[in-house]
Structure 1
Amino acid sequence: MTSLSVFIDVPKASKLRDEQQEEAFLKDRDRRKIFLGQKVFLSDDGLPWVPLPVKKVYLQILNDPTRNYEDLPVGGNQEFLRGVTELALGKNNKAILENRAGGIQTPGSTGAFMLGIEFLSQWYSMNPKMSICIPHPDCDGYKETLEAAGITNIYTYRVWDSKQGNLAISDMLEDLETFPDYSIVVLPISCTATGIQFNKSEWKQIATLLKKKNIFPFFNLNGQGLSSGDVDTDAWPLRHFVSEDFELFCAQSFSAAFGLYGESVGCLLMVMRNNGALISVRSQLECLVLRKWSSPPSTGARVVATVLNNPTLHEEWEENLKMATKRLMVIREKMREKLRLLETLRSWNQITQQSGLFTYFGLTKDKVDFLAKRNHIYLPENGQMNISGLNMNNIHYVTQCISDVTLNDTR
């Protein structure tokens, strides 16, 4: 037998830019080093935040003598699916009452997005070329998933005005107007990767344009309740589209809002025209699931289902969300005030206009590199910052460095 591996010609994959940043942070020996590229919501102690009712339910599950370890059904935990559908759409939503809304449990929102895209690539006959529109600058994760699925007709729409330093609704509408009719558009809501949020009036404009062009909405609902502090407010764009009779998909994630980062709890939510369409779509999605993961993880889904379906725990969870969101708002206010006092070239109002875990400054790659090499502050390549990583010990240093690196910018 030969001593050479049959995989000798396999090249080593290059690490993603964000992985390289985290690796550089771990190797950095400077005492000032700060990593603000985390995807998780951190408490003041620097550890992932977990709502109190989630901790209670975990203890209940561990001590439950009736607990079994059987696989879940292909579609997932039914109590979980009922709870998260009502959480996203509202308990009395007409799509639920008409039995044309439902979900498939998935390994996180990435699993939900991948499942939805694969289904659409097979069955979305209105656009055989599969034109998909994704937001910029929050596009890298979506693009990688789409390219892995073999999708090549990928368009980007702008959500950030680099000249004004704020969101760009007019640019977004202009871009969407140019995309092919019957395209699919990805719409992040609630705790978005950039913190950028549109108001109700702007969402109504988006819905009107998408309806005119017969564009299919694919929402990404992440960290519901951690943007405004209210689960209903954060889900308003999705509910508005349902009220406007759109058929749509929505990838839901419960990592941030429940502190379940290691449990991979997600859902692909579907709203169809009627119950017959829902049954058919669900059946095809379950066929795809059988070929992918067969059965979703159970523990995290049980935790979410227990919290959502127990009125006392549900109320306590929502109170925890409000307190967590208040902390993020306080950090934003402190950041803006410190930056405003350090220089006068910007108002920095975008910091408090954005919401959720992340804030976005529009920093160039060169400035991100400068912050890492000179100031030992590590961010993702697009300049997105996880503000939950800021505290009384580091916020002054971070704001001073951000101010220095943007001093010559004009807004």
Structure 2
Amino acid sequence: MFENIQSRGVDQILAMMQTFKADARETKVDLIVGVYKDAKGDVPVMRAVKEAERRLIEAEDTKTYVGISGDPVFRGQVPALLLGAGSPVIAQERVASLQTVGGSGALRVGCDLLNAVMPAQKIWVSTPTWANHVPIATDAGLTVDTYPYFRPSDRGLDFEAMMAHLEAHSKAGEILLLHACCHNPTGVDMSLEQWQIVTDFVVERGLIPYVDCAYQGLGNGMEEDAAGLRIMAEKVPEMVLASSFSKNFGIYRERTGALSVIAKTPEDLTKTLKAAETLIRSNYSMPPSHGARIVATVFDDADLTADWRSELDEMRVRIAEVRQELRAKLEARQVTQDLAFLTDQNGMFSYTGFNPEQVTKLREDHGIYTAGDGRINVAGLTPENLDAVADGFAAVLR
């Protein structure tokens, strides 16, 4: 039986991580893995998270199941985080959230739900998009197609091509997958004006928007990073959102995410949630407790919330400063290419535009590891490795 299995291969990011671990050079630099690192190169536990865990350990008196939908306090906090506390959608009782196994779990449950309603429906994803979007959607039974997004010439957004393609090819009832902020892998985001244009198009064409919000707070701020999806949420009749707390809480291994659904009516919402619960039950049955209780504890205490926001601000500022420093060091090394993309792009990731030959040269000659498509995790840059990275980048850019 098992001899007939045909592997579709290891995710290229995971494969590159394995190669990095096997590299014996002490000066090697990991710019692959999409986790926040501090100036020492560590993945820290946030102060508010540590305090919330201390309280939870002292107070916890059971390890019973949390239920299919997850922690009720956490679930109640998510809509306001995404849509804003004053959202009319919340007031109209048209939105609700389910706790999921990370943001990936939210994406999969959402795709399963959409496929249950509209079997094999087409979902449009950007070119490029996060490597796991296509496998998740395909395995859920949806049909994947792509729309233009990244423009290699200036490493920016080709919004005109995106809209022209969707205008020409998308049809009513199809699904449009969008990144809320800090687009992975490019770091190229839509402006609020462009969000408004897409929103109007979605309403007119009758598309179902599916927004992946994995990096809220790491671009321009918690409110600013959700501003685009909030424009859309107030105008569309139905919407699906997948969100992750791995990045903005630094609780990657706790696998804490949420699937949020906006329905036309409260009655439709109730039916939709029950359908999603059925899908969860036959998948992983119940989500884990710890991560969601961390988030709920932080948001339930004003002092913890303030400390969390302060540290998140520190993380965001560090990312922006590192972008500026890398650009300045490359310019000091007489790199004549336009480097504005380094500071124009948003969040942890930068799409450098390095071709496969340059990626290989960086790895083999300089010990600098990037994703195969040239994406780098800017947070992987530290005072200790920044000059070495700038030397390597300058060598391949000249």
Shorter-chain TM band: over 0.9
Distance 1:308 1:212, change over 3 A: same
Deviations 1:299-339 (A, max 9, x none): 10000011112222112211111111111111011011112
Q: How does 1:39-50 map to 2 (within 5 A)?
A: 39-50=34-45
CA distance in 1, matches of 2:168, 2:61: 54
Deviations 1:64-84 (A, max 9, x none): 2x5311101211111001111
**Residue in 2 that maps onto 1:60:** 55
Measured after TM superposition, the shift of residue 170 of structure 1 is 1.4
**Residue in 1 that maps onto 2:227:** 236
CA distance in 2, matches of 1:82, 1:12: 40
**Residue in 2 that maps onto 1:155:** 145
**Residue in 2 that maps onto 1:76:** 70
State the SS of the aligned residue for 1:140: coil
State the SS of the aligned residue for 1:73: coil
Measured after TM superposition, the shift of residue 17 of structure 1 is 2.1
CA RMSD, Structure 1 to Structure 2 (Å)? 1.6
With 88-97 and 41-50 compared, the bigger mean Cα shift is at 41-50
CA distance in 2, matches of 1:13, 1:113: 20
Q: How does 1:196-235 map to 2 (within 5 A)?
A: 196-228=188-220, 230-235=221-226
Alignment partner of 1:264 is 2:264: no
Gapped regions of structure 1 (runs ≥ 5): 1-5
Q: Percent identity?
A: 25
Measured after TM superposition, the shift of residue 140 of structure 1 is 2.5
Which residue identity does 2:189 align to in structure 1?
Answer: Q
**Residue in 2 that maps onto 1:179:** 169
1:192–1:222 Cα contact (<8 Å) kept: no
Gapped regions of structure 2 (runs ≥ 5): none
1:57–1:307 Cα contact (<8 Å) kept: yes
CA distance in 1, matches of 2:280, 2:121: 21
CA distance in 2, matches of 1:367, 1:115: 38
CA distance in 2, matches of 1:308, 1:191: 23
Measured after TM superposition, the shift of residue 8 of structure 1 is 4.3
Q: How does 1:15-34 map to 2 (within 5 A)?
A: 15-34=10-29
Distance 1:220 1:11, change over 3 A: closer
**Residue in 2 that maps onto 1:349:** 340
1:137–1:382 Cα contact (<8 Å) kept: no
2:178–2:210 Cα contact (<8 Å) kept: yes
Distance 1:205 1:12, change over 3 A: closer
State the SS of the aligned residue for 2:176: strand
Which residue identity does 1:117 align to in structure 2?
Answer: C
Which residue identity does 2:150 align to in structure 1?
Answer: W
With 292-301 and 304-313 compared, the bigger mean Cα shift is at 304-313
State the SS of the aligned residue for 1:255: coil
**Residue in 1 that maps onto 2:155:** 165
1:335–1:399 Cα contact (<8 Å) kept: yes
Alignment partner of 1:89 is 2:83: yes
Distance 1:200 1:8, change over 3 A: closer
With 372-381 and 251-260 compared, the bigger mean Cα shift is at 372-381
**Residue in 2 that maps onto 1:301:** 292
Alignment partner of 1:393 is 2:353: no
**Residue in 2 that maps onto 1:287:** 278
Of the three residues 20, 30, 43, the one matched with 1:35 is: 30
**Residue in 2 that maps onto 1:118:** 112
**Residue in 2 that maps onto 1:372:** 363
CA distance in 2, matches of 1:342, 1:158: 33
Measured after TM superposition, the shift of residue 129 of structure 1 is 4.5
Which residue identity does 1:371 align to in structure 2?
Answer: L
Which residue identity does 1:136 align to in structure 2?
Answer: T
CA distance in 1, matches of 2:204, 2:44: 42
Which residue identity does 1:55 align to in structure 2?
Answer: K
Which residue identity does 2:212 align to in structure 1?
Answer: N
Deviations 1:197-244 (A, max 9, x none): 11111111111222221111100001211111x211111111101121
